Every structure is written in structure tokens, then in C-alpha cells.
């Protein structure tokens, strides 16, 4: 109780409010002693004190004695001081909030946004690509330990985007909650090259994914790994999608050597700004159960695009089918953490793709098309 009272006494708004109340009551009482007539009747002296203190000056009541007029000057200056203090207090709150936002200390209240955990040389490319593919309609929250100067530079570079920032360790639940991960569309976790305390950046990526899934197993997580050897461990975290750095890079380098022209074509199709690129399209209901060739003809003739393949979201891949019978201590730790967080050991959503199937492949219910626009 005493702590609550001391906290209240230190509150600026409470102090200003008490000051206004004192001037109103004290001013009304003193005016009654100095003046006569209507101004002293009922609540009129207190009304006069408020009007005088705020310098509104309606003119319905005015002191007529010398003492009353001198006292009015005191009330005016006292009121001006208090109102100025109130204005300064309100302004300081907004300024402090802006400063805290710049330092990444405020909670970000958003929905259907993208959260980008970690930072490395690919961070800017990821932000730019998300912005281009979403046509500037997707808000992005960054969680990392970059300096305020670097974040300011990023916001300046992507000023057309409404970038938000949370400072801190993205493996900690309270930091993730500040970014409203529960209400996000997708959380992207990339290796944090600014952290030199770990032997492998993938360690933090795996642990962050585990923490996010323990908050809510339905949060969609896309993780980026540097080393393919860590893929097995990452899959045990119930991650939704994994991108391995060395897979694509090795393929592109080898293709430049053996199949010149292929890597250039792939790079073009993956360029979000190119006129022809990979895009997703809904499949019309009347093509469900019909051959792939019929759908391919439809897209080519009606939309002028090339059908590459189809994909669907599958369920029921259990983590127990991934964990081996002679599981390691790391396996046991991951499984324990998932159960501790109340996570079902069933992976909720996995994407299955079929690329360029035989012409008689029948389109299934729930499948979507991947085309070259």
C-alpha cells in the first residue's frame, strides 16, 4: 500500500492534478473573503478560479476590489505554470515513447505482419524481396541486436516501408512477444552474424525456432540454415519450412560450369522484379479431378502463363517418426521442450510439391498451381 502511494505521489499527472485542485479550492475560498456580490455565491468562486487559472476569461464574473484583482494575478500565473507543466508532461511522454521505439524497447502491436529474427548480409535482400512481392502492403518487424544508428540507416533506406524494430535476443520469449509473433503471418529466422558467442549461427536459429513454437505451435516459421548438417536438428523443432544456404549456392556454381544458361534462367525466374517469374495461382474448382494437361492448357490459353507444377499442404508428419530410437541428449532436450510448451508432436502444415508430372496426373482437391507468369 505504501509503495503504491509513493508511486502515485511521484506521478507527474497526479502532481499537476493536485496543484490544479489546490488552486481551485484555495482560490475560491480566498475570493469569498475578498469579494462581495454574485461572484461569492454558491460554486461561482470556484468556477471563477478555474476560468482565471486557464486564462479563458469568459467575463461572467470579475473581481471588483483591489485585493481581489491582485489575487487574480496570482491565480493567473499559478494556472499558467501548471498548464505549461501539464503540456510539458504530455509532450515528454510522447517523446520518451518515440525514443524507446527508436531503441526497439516498445511492444509492436500489429497483426498479419512478418517478423524477421536475426541479421546478416542477406537481411536487406529479404526485406526488399518481401516488399516487392507483397507490393508494399506487408509490415515487417525486425528483431536483432543492431545499434540504433544501423536501424535508423535501415529505416532511411527502406523509407517506403513501415519497418518496426525490437531490440534484444530473439531466443527469449518476452522479446518475441514484443514483436507480436502470435498475431504474425510468418516468422523468418535467419543466422545472426552479429552474435560471436556461438560456435555456429545455426544454434541460435534452432533454439529461436523452438522458443517460437513453444509460444504457439500454429505460428508459421521459416528458418534459414547455413549448414545442411543441422537440418535434422531443425526439423525436430516442428519448423514449417527450411532453406539451406549451401544447397542452392552449390547448385548454381555447378550449373555455371556444366550447364551454362540454366543458372541465368533460374536467377531470372527468382527475381521478384522480373516480368516473368514464379508465382502462385489458385486452381479453378472445375479442374479438380481433371488431368494436369487440361489445367496446363487452361493456364496457357486463358492466362498466357506456363504451368510448372502443383503443391498442397499436408499434415500428420509426427516428430516421433523423425526421432530415432537411440536418440541423443539433444533429441531428448528438444522433445522435452516441445512437450513442456504444450506442443503437439504433429507437424501442422507441410508443403508437398509435384513438378511437371505426367499429363494424366489428376489434380487433387486443395492443390494450388505454380506458374511462370
What pLDDT, in 10s, does the model give residues 161-199? 778 899 889 999 999 999 999 999 999 999 887 666 666
Exposed, middle or buried: residue 305 (CB in 10 Å: 0-12, 13-18, 19+)? middle
| Maximum separation of any 2 CA atoms in the chain, in Å | 105
**The two domains 2-102 and 275-372 share their CATH topology (first three levels equal):** no
**CATH dotted code for 114-246:** 3.40.50.720
Alpha helices in the chain (DSSP H): 2-10, 12-34, 44-53, 66-102, 123-133, 148-157, 173-178, 201-215, 231-235, 245-258, 262-269, 292-298, 329-340
Least confident of 82-91, 218-227, 233-242, 333-342: 333-342
**Phi, psi dihedral angles at 89 (to 5 degrees):** -65, -45
Which pTM value belongs to this model? 0.63
Spans of all domains in the chain: 2-102, 114-246, 275-372
CATH of the structural domain 2-102, one choice from 1.10.287.70, 3.20.20.70, 3.40.190.290, 1.10.645.10 = 1.10.287.70
**Phi, psi dihedral angles at 165 (to 5 degrees):** -140, 135
The third-level CATH classification (topology) of the domain covering 275-372 is: Alpha-Beta Plaits (3.30.70)
The pLDDT of residue 348 is: 47
Among 186-190, 232-236, 343-347, name the most confident range.
186-190
Alpha-carbon distance of 239 to 217, in angstroms, equals 9
Which residues in 276-290 are b (16+ Cβ under 10 Å) and which e?
Answer: eebeebebeeebeee
More confident residue, 335 or 42: 42
Alpha-carbon distance of 347 to 322, in angstroms, equals 11
Alpha-carbon distance of 23 to 74, in angstroms, equals 10
Amino acid at each position: 500500500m505504501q509503495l503504491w502511494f509513493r508511486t502515485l505521489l511521484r506521478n507527474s499527472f497526479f502532481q499537476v492534478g493536485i496543484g490544479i485542485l489546490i488552486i481551485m479550492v484555495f482560490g475560491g475560498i480566498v475570493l469569498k473573503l475578498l469579494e462581495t456580490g454574485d461572484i461569492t455565491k454558491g460554486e461561482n468562486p470556484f468556477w471563477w478560479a478555474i476560468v482565471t487559472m486557464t486564462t479563458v476569461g469568459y467575463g461572467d464574473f470579475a473581481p471588483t476590489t483591489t485585493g481581489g484583482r491582485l489575487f487574480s494575478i496570482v491565480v493567473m500565473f499559478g494556472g499558467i505554470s501548471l498548464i505549461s507543466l501539464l503540456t510539458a508532461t504530455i509532450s515528454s511522454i510522447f517523446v520518451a515513447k518515440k525514443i524507446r521505439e527508436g531503441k526497439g524497447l516498445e511492444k509492436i502491436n500489429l497483426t498479419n505482419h512478418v517478423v524477421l529474427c536475426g541479421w546478416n548480409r542477406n537481411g536487406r535482400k529479404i526485406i526488399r524481396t518481401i516488399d516487392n512481392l507483397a507490393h508494399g502492403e506487408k509490415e515487417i518487424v525486425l528483431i536483432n541486436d543492431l545499434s540504433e544508428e544501423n536501424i535508423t540507416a535501415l529505416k532511411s533506406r527502406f523509407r517506403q516501408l513501415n519497418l518496426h524494430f525490437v531490440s534484444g535476443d530473439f531466443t527469449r520469449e518476452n522479446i518475441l512477444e514484443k514483436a507480436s509473433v502470435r498475431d504474425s503471418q510468418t516468422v523468418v529466422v535467419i543466422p545472426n552474424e552479429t552474435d560471436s558467442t556461438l560456435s555456429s549461427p545455426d544454434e541460435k536459429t534452432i533454439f529461436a525456432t523452438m522458443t517460437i513454437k513453444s509460444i504457439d505451435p500454429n505460428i508459421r516459421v521459416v528458418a534459414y540454415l547455413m549448414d545442411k548438417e543441422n537440418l535434422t536438428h531443425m526439423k525436430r523443432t516442428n519448423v514449417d519450412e527450411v532453406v539451406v544456404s549451401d544447397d542452392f549456392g552449390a547448385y548454381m556454381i555447378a550449373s555455371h560450369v556444366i550447364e551454362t544458361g540454366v543458372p541465368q534462367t533460374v536467377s531470372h525466374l527468382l527475381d521478384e522484379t522480373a516480368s516473368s517469374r514464379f508465382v502462385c495461382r489458385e486452381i479453378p474448382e472445375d479442374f479438380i479431378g481433371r488431368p494436369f494437361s487440361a489445367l496446363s492448357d487452361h493456364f496457357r490459353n486463358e492466362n498466357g502463363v506456363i504451368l510448372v507444377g502443383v503443391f498442397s499442404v499436408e499434415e500428420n508428419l509426427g516428430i516421433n517418426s523423425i526421432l530415432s530410437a537411440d536418440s541423443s541428449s539433444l533429441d531428448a532436450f528438444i522433445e522435452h521442450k516441445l512437450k513442456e510448451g504444450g506442443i503437439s508432436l504433429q507437424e501442422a502444415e507441410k508443403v508437398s510439391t509435384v513438378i511437371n508430372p505426367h499429363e494424366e496426373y489428376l489434380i487433387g482437391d486443395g492443390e494450388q498451381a505454380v506458374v511462370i507468369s
